[in-house]
Amino acid sequence: MKKKLLSVLVTTAMAAALLAGCGGSSESESSEASGETKDVKDLVIGEIHYSVVEDGGWAQGMHEGIVTACENLGIDTETNLLTMEEIAEEDTALVESTVEELVDNGADIIFGCSAGYATILAELQEEYPDVIFAQQGNDVYDNIVEFQIRGYEGDFLTGYLCALMNEGSDELGFCASMDEASVRTAVNSFALGAKYANPNAKVQVVWADSWYDLDIESQNAKTLIDKGIKYMGMEASSPAVPQTCEENGAFCIGYNVDMEASAPGAVLTSFVWNWAPIFEDIMQKTADGTIEISANYYEGGECAALAPFNADLVPEEIQKQVEELKEKVLSGEVAIYGGELKNDKGEVLVEAGEVMSDEDILAQDFFVENVIGGKN
């Protein structure tokens, strides 16, 4: 287990994105606020990660959001940010000892930066009632703050972008990690965006069956390229897919953080998780004594952000089209999971004129009709 006091400079592109707000928040009202107040600058923040915070993917994006929120509120990240890395989600004893160490060092808030910590943190909240536990998740527990982003909004836009770029072909690809609801949502949303641009678009999916494996991710990208696919999305944490695309004359969407620097000849843009506004709100309300331990944040808009377009690869006209579609999504003019919507078996998921519920979007156990290679 590693413990660090970190001050990390956020990349220019990410920092720009993090300045924007998010829409669509929802907070539970079933728990009373703590009532205790503290100068926000004096808060001690703990964060727990399954990986290192410079992994180039999920952990880095989450950490950068926490750092940005701290900096916006004047919290000294050199002294008041406690970062715990490589804490395996399945190692209950390690998670418990990590939380104990953070509490002993004065943590006011402990962020569980991966969904796998949820159950154990919900149990530990009873042992440490004066600490706010904030956990990435989907409104399952009533004694911890949970937060999630409508990532499907960004994935939809990237599928649309790839289909616009893929002139003359209907075939797109997607490199997926684990067969899990959030990953299926990313695949489906990318495919729906592609179909919005091109009704004949098909998305071939290959699976790593791992959250982080450079060799397999690279092999999967090469598999798609060998099939003649030139544009692809991804839901993975390493830069292996972008780098493999660059080496083989293909193009892709980065994921978690802005990956353009890893493969400037291949990355069109990146889907980035803009956690900072959520974290800032949690920190401020904790300091004010108004945080509710059962609060649930489910944010869209600029929280499901796109990094700046790669101007060397994406024509201005296509950039404009993506931005215009983004506004239609935010205004509600375009419902990503609106009907009629069918799965890959031809069954109707959503009738014409209706929209899929948040609960069903979060718990996706299907693949939409233009996905090839879904696991079902």
Predicted pLDDT at 178: 92
Q: How far is CA 293 from CA 99, 102, 250, 285, in A?
A: 17, 18, 46, 11
Q: State the Cα–Cα distance between residues 45 and 286, nearest whole angstrom.
A: 11
Q: Give pLDDT, residue 46.
A: 98
Please give the Cα distance from 337 to 360 (Å, whole number).
10
Look up the pTM and report it.
0.85
Q: What pLDDT does 23 receive?
A: 55
Query: Could you tell me which of 371, 85, 88 has the C-alpha nearest to residue 207?
Result: 371
Nearest alpha-carbon partner for 174 in 153, 199, 193: 193
The reported pLDDT for the residue numbered 31 is: 44
Specify the pLDDT at position 376. 67
DSSP H stretches of helix in the chain: 12-18, 58-73, 92-104, 118-127, 151-165, 181-197, 214-226, 240-247, 276-288, 316-331, 358-362
C-alpha–C-alpha distance, residues 282 and 332, integer Å: 27
pLDDT given for residue 34 in this prediction: 55
| CA 75 vs CA 116, 131, 230: distances in Å | 27, 17, 45
Rounded to an integer, what distance in angstroms lies between the CA atom of residue 239 and that of residue 255?
Answer: 9
pLDDT at 56: 77
346's torsion region: left (phi>0), alpha (psi -120 to 50) or beta? left
pLDDT for 11: 34
> What is the reported pLDDT for 16?
36
List, for residues 173-182, the tens digit of each pLDDT value: 999 999 999 8
Reference 115, options 144, 97, 89, 79; nearest CA is 89
Closest CA to 245 of 273, 270, 217: 217
Positions of the chain with pLDDT lower than 50, given as ranges: 1-20, 24-31
